[in-house]
Amino acid sequence: MIVERIVPNLTVTDLPRAVREHSSVLGLQTVMDHGWIVTLAQPDGRHLSLITEDASAPVNPDVSVFVDDVTAAYDEAVSAGLEIVHPLTAENWGVTRFFYRDSSGNVINVGTHTS
């Protein structure tokens, strides 16, 4: 399995305001906007996601890790005995993902783009 991208996720209360703030200060551009999550980026690929409330999971992830084989990552998380807080799911916005909680309580979103 290859890690393709790691994106920090900040939970925010006012998404439009947070987008304005981070875009202005950091010079980032919106590259994805689903209404509940916005990803900002620089042209060289550095990303930051701002999220209000996840659309299908019970908790917001702290970080998103995109991999080339999400099923292998899921199997590794299960084998390691980690708590799966969102099952392996093909989401309707073109991502297959799952969330696990690490031993420190961090929630990790592991996914791959499927469309």
Q: For residue 102, which of 59, 50, 66 has the smallest C-alpha distance?
A: 59
DSSP string, 57-101: SSS--SEEEEES-HHHHHHHHHHTT-EEEEEEEE-TTSEEEEEEE
Look at the block and give the residue holding tokens 């919106």.
30
Tokens of 82: 């980690």
pLDDT above 70 as % of the chain: 99
Q: Tell whether pTM > 0.85.
A: yes
Higher pLDDT: 44 or 109? It is 109
Q: Which residues, at least 6 apart from 3, have a Cβ–Cβ distance to it below 8 Å?
A: 65, 66, 67
Per residue in 67-107, pLDDT tens?
999 999 999 999 999 999 999 999 999 999 999 999 999 99
Contact 27, 42 (CB under 8 A): yes
